[in-house]
Amino acid sequence: MNIPLLVSPQWLKDNLNNPQIQVIENPWNEDSYQKAHISSALCSPTNPYLKRYDDNGEKTQYVMDSVEFLAVCSDLGLKRDKHYIIYDDYHGLFAARFWSVCRYFGVDNISILDGSWRGWLDQNYPVSSLLKSPEPGTDIDINPHATHFIGWKELKSIYQNPEVQLWDTRREGEYFGTDETENPRQGHIPGAMHLSWSGLLMEATREGEPRFLKSRKDLDIILTDLGLCRDKTIVTYCQSGIRAAFCIFVLEMLGYPHHRLYDASMGEWSSLDSTPLVL
């Protein structure tokens, strides 16, 4: 099957009983899966950020390592001959994070459900409260692509390169430093363009309404108006690599060939003495 990166609720409903398709929820709220989920869906067994934890049990700014990711694959029973549709309870934000980490480790049989949980629920499609346990074990090969991510030292050395464009995907107040945050320093990386990740979603007209991605045509116009160029390397960042991962997904879906995720993002950059920030 030729399955696109983004699938509609209708597509998933039509393919829900296909044995080659498995749905996985990567919930932000850990209780959401237990309350109700898409029929036959599995639940991701790890933190929704897929981040590494230190020896004290504190979440770090960095993506989990290969051993941890392989354990997630095994716990979910991921197989090379299946295709996985990921959704969440937050407009696709954490589904895109799951996709981006899979992509980093070389796992590409992954798509995202447009509209996520609310989009499915809004159509009155099948849901369940039965907790499904996967058959553990995996034949997935882990092959990290280091160039998909970028670290602060490399970013500091290239952020002024005219062939590199920076996209700050946070809220406007975070970008301009007017919002109160936990960061020791406020502002954005010099030269970074600003567009919040949520600006890529259709507006909700009522409370609880699903927010689907805007049309490809509209997204192309938005990113072109922002100033992004297909012949340049685009680096996305936010606070901790979650919103920025969502925007990497959109760039990939639209066919932008060169894009990288600053995974540690402002949580790291703002805490370093030698990294520039402007308001």
The pLDDT value recorded for residue 107 is 98
Query: H helices within 159-242, ranges in order?
Result: 172-176, 216-226
The pLDDT value recorded for residue 207 is 85
Q: pLDDT-derived band of residue 228, with 50, 70 and 90 as boundaries?
A: very high
As given in the structure block, the two tokens for residue 42 are: 């599995």
- Each residue of 142-155: pLDDT tens digit? 999 999 999 999 99
Mean pLDDT of 239-265: 98
Q: pLDDT-derived band of residue 1, with 50, 70 and 90 as boundaries?
A: confident
Q: pLDDT-derived band of residue 265, with 50, 70 and 90 as boundaries?
A: very high
Q: Do residues 117 and 126 make contact, with C-beta atoms less than 8 angstroms apart? A: no
Look at the alpha carbons of 93, 99, 103, 104 in this order and tell me if their dihedral is positive or negative.
positive
The pLDDT value recorded for residue 208 is 84
As given in the structure block, the two tokens for residue 188 are: 């954005």
- Each residue of 152-198: pLDDT tens digit? 999 999 999 999 999 999 999 999 999 989 999 999 999 999 999 99
As a whole number, the mean pLDDT across the chain is 97
Query: H helices within 61-162, ranges in order?
Result: 66-76, 93-104, 116-122, 152-158
Q: pLDDT-derived band of residue 45, with 50, 70 and 90 as boundaries?
A: very high
Q: Do residues 247 and 162 make contact, with C-beta atoms less than 8 angstroms apart? A: no
Mean pLDDT of 115-133: 96
Helix (H/G/I), strand (E/B), else coil: 9: helix
Alpha carbon 105 to its chain centroid, in Å, reads 14
As given in the structure block, the two tokens for residue 153 are: 């030292």
The pLDDT value recorded for residue 249 is 98
The pLDDT value recorded for residue 27 is 97
Q: What percent of the chain has pLDDT over 70?
A: 100
Among residues 169, 170, 145, the alpha carbon closest in space to that of 236 is found at 169
The pLDDT value recorded for residue 152 is 98
Question: How many CB atoms within 10 Å of residue 108?
Answer: 12
The pLDDT value recorded for residue 227 is 98
How far is the C-alpha of 279 from the C-alpha of 277, rounded, in Å? 7
How far is the C-alpha of 45 from the C-alpha of 75, rounded, in Å? 7
How far is the C-alpha of 114 from the C-alpha of 86, rounded, in Å? 9
How far is the C-alpha of 134 from the C-alpha of 183, rounded, in Å? 39
The pLDDT value recorded for residue 205 is 87
The pLDDT value recorded for residue 51 is 97
CA contacts within 13 A on the Cβ side of 199: 17
DSSP 140: P
Phi, psi dihedrals of residue 195, rounded to the nearest 5°: -155, 120
Helix (H/G/I), strand (E/B), else coil: 18: coil
As given in the structure block, the two tokens for residue 26 are: 């990567």
How far is the C-alpha of 13 from the C-alpha of 27, rounded, in Å? 20
- Domains, in order of start, for the chain: 6-128 (3.40.250.10), 149-269 (3.40.250.10)
Amino acid residing at 40: S
Mean pLDDT of 235-242: 98
